Amino acid sequence: MLERNVAGGTRYAIQDLERAVQLGTVQPEDYELLARLLHQKGDFVGAISILRSGIALDPYIDSYYAPLTGCYEAQGNFKDARRALQNGLHMFPEDLSLRKALDKLDAQPTHDR
């Protein structure tokens, strides 16, 4: 019963946040939460779209880049994951978490660069 209520709550949260984005919200938290919920649901394409919309709106929000990378990695799209990290580092060259994530991605020999 609780799982069904949580799933229903998540569905309503996604609907509400999607509506906020459609209405032009500029709150980074709306984009971040919607992307996180979509990612958890397995909708990586939707999460990527939301994060890219957030970045287009304001590329100076550092918390968009790591989740975007995670979505691309979940799809096996390591080329775009790397590009997302590089874009984040271009905007935030001192961000150690983005640097470590890029180093980790580059250390894996099976990924295209």
The domain that holds 74 is classified in CATH as: 1.25.40.10
Residue with tokens 């096996």: 76
Q: Which domain holds residue 61?
A: 2-107
∠ at Cα 42 (68, 84), nearest 5°? 10
Q: Evaluate whether residue 66 is within a structural domain.
A: yes
Per-residue pLDDT of the chain (113 residues; tens, 9 = 90+): 334 445 678 899 999 999 999 999 999 999 999 999 999 999 999 999 999 999 999 999 999 999 999 999 999 999 999 999 999 999 999 999 999 999 999 998 765 55
What's the pLDDT score for residue 113?
55
pTM: 0.87
Is 39 in contact with 29 (CB distance < 8 Å)? no
Q: Evaluate whether residue 113 is within a structural domain.
A: no
Q: Count structural domains, the chain.
A: 1
